[in-house]
Each structure stands twice: as structure tokens, then as C-alpha cells.
Amino acid sequence: MTAQLPEPRLVDPAEASRQLIPLLNIDESEVDRQMRICNACRYCEGFCAVFPAMTRRLDFSKADIHYLANLCHNCGACLHACQYAAPHEFAVNVPQAMAKVRVQTYGDYAWPSLFGRFYRHNGTFLAVALAVGLSLFLVLTLVMKGTLLPGSLKGDFYAVFPHNTLAWMFGGVFGGAVLALAVAVRRFWRNVTPASDPVETQPGAVREASAAVLTLKYLDGGHGQGCNNESDRYTLWRRRFHHLTFYGFMLCFAATGVATSYHYLLGKVAPYSVLSLPVVLGTLGGVGLLIGPAGLLVLNYRRDPLQGDITQQPMDRGFIVLLLLVSLTGLALLVGRDSPAMAILLAIHLGSVMAFFLTLPYGKFAHGIFRSAALLKFAIEKRQLEKVNLGSE
């Protein structure tokens, strides 16, 4: 029997306006079309969280599409398994359709809303932020020391920039970035989740979602063998490089937290020895942030263009390169902290970190925050509808 293409959903604009139904744009309509085809087929039902979530819906609202798009991990398994992928006339490509909507959601929910446009020109935005960060600290070095090469300062960073100056600068920018991300993900959550789904009443769902985030569960392709990248061959390297990147970042964050505790609670002022806890954590984190992003960059260049949205490559690769720059300059600073070049190495590293903080809420980093929220909604939804048996888990 020949499968029939579902009729496109047509909504009268006047009726939609009366009923307050948000109209779908072109990319959202494409996800709606493909989800209705997948809902009729259900071959990929066990691959990842997207398809069990899909089977709970007979129709797909704008909010549903935003939720499913952020639930997708772009592993590519469904594309290679799909009997309706091109050259079939249905031309189903779920990873690509989801990727296009996913980046749109970052801009739609961004705060302040005006800054959502940074996602459309993310490569330029990142380059400008990096130029501003580097220029700022190079100029500050000249102002503070009168030269970029003031000689050996025995690893004392605060001999170049006072501690309180750095604390206020980076604390303010990082706090603003966290606030912007928090407001954005709250907007997303309120739109895709009914008010009857309070998180505080779902501790089991929180634990399940946290485990999925920390283990990158859905980068295993749904079968444990990994993602597809440049072919239909499975690989776990994308998951491994993501782990190195994520936990490298967390170790660096922990190093900063420990150093802050040393300074304010214990009265221990930097510089710290190479074997001290802040330096060890920072070094391990820096190595993770070197290997992980380098591997992801290689995979990104090798990735089949059908398994994503090629217009997002400047954002993806720019973010990866910035992470590499932060880790490289940090490790170079560790090696050269007792050398006459310490001041300029410090300025370059701090400029890179400042660019990272400035772009944090308006770049690729946002995908982890939105995806975590989608995974939490999925875990809550499973518990509410598990007796209905509309789809597998």
C-alpha cells in the first residue's frame, strides 16, 4: 500500500486571530508536516525522546514544535533509518527541520528581545565581542603597566589588574549573562509547559532529566551505538567530545569557585602553586576544553550537510573556536606565568574569556539550557500520561 502524504494544515488567518492561535512560519510548518508523517509511521519511536513525545500529540501547535525542536539532539539516526527521506517525495529530514526551528526559538525567547537578532548574525557578533574583549584588556595593560611586556611578575596576575577590578568586571558581565539566559528559558518554559505542570511536585522527573543531561543520554542514537555524522556509520565520538567539553567547562568553573573561596573565606591570595586545588582543577578543565572542542570542530567539518542547518555553521564553529581560544590561552598563561610575557598572555586570555561571557546568552551555549528544559518537560510529561499508553518510552 502506498503511503499518502497528509494534507497540509490550513488555518484561516481571521479564525486564528479570533481564537488566538499563533500562526506557524515556514520552518515551523515544515516540522508540523514531517511530524504528522512520522506520527503515521512511528518506525523511529524508540530512537530518542522526540518520537515518544510526538506520539502524545495528534496535532502540533507552535509551542509543541518549539518543544520538540529543542528536545532533538540532532543525532541523525532517524534520517538514516527513514524510508520517506529524499529521494522519496515526502523528503522527510527531521534533524534538519528541527535545527532550523531550534535556532529560531533562541532568538524568539531571548532577553532583552532586541538582542535575539544576534542569532541571525552570530559569527559577526562573536567576532566583534572578541575584538572588544582583546582590545579592552590590551589597552588596560598599557594603562596599568605602561607596556605589554613589563617583565617577570612572578605569576602575580593582580600585579597587572587589581583583584577587585577583575571581580567587578567579570562578575557583572557573567551575572548579566546568567540573568539573560534565565529569563529566556523561563519564557520558553512558560510557553511550552502548562501551568498545571509545577516542577517542584516532580522530583523524580527532575532526577531523570538531570541524568539525561549529565550523561548526554540521547547522543547514543537511541540504540547505544552513537550518532551518525558523515555517513550511516554510527560513532560515539560526538558524545565523548561533548562530555569532555561540558565537564572541562565545569572543572574550570569549579576552579574559579575554589579560588574565590580561597580569597574571601580563607584569606589565601593568588598566585597559587601548580599543585594547588584551583590550578589542578583549572588545568584539567583546560585540557578537557582543548580536546573536546577540537574533536567537535573536526566532526562539524566532516558532518553530512543533510544532518543539520548549514546556515548555522558560523555560530557552531565560532563558538567552538572561542572555547578553544579560551583553553589555549589559559594553558599558555599557566606555562608562561613566570615569564616576561605573562602580562600580555593574561590580557589575551582575559579578553577571550570576556568575549565568551558577552556571547554566552546569544550563541550556541543557549542550546544546552533550552535542551535541558525540554528534557525536564519530557520527564514530567511521561509521568502524567504514562497510563494513557499513547507511545513507547
DSSP H/E element including 227: strand 227-228
Q: Write the DSSP assignment of 22-58 as a string of letters.
A: PPP-HHHHHHHHHHHHHHHH-TTTTTSSHHHHHTT-S
In whole angstroms, how far apart are CA 320 and each of 163, 242, 276, 316, 380?
A: 29, 11, 29, 6, 32
- pLDDT, residue 5, reads 54
- pLDDT, residue 17, reads 43
Distance, in Å, from the CA atom of 74 to the CA atom of 307, rounded to the nearest integer, reads 7
167 Ramachandran zone, left/alpha/beta (phi>0; psi -120 to 50): alpha
Q: What pairing do the DSSP bridges indicate for beta strands 234-235 and 227-228?
A: antiparallel
- pLDDT, residue 124, reads 92
- pLDDT, residue 94, reads 96
User: Coil, strand or helix: which one is 376?
Assistant: helix
Closest Cα to residue 393, out of 233, 228, 212? Answer: 212
| Residue ranges in the chain modelled with pLDDT below 50 | 1, 14-19, 386-393
Distance, in Å, from the CA atom of 108 to the CA atom of 258, rounded to the nearest integer, reads 36
Q: What is the pLDDT of residues 275-307, one digit of tens each?
A: 999 999 999 999 999 999 999 999 999 999 988
- pLDDT, residue 391, reads 45
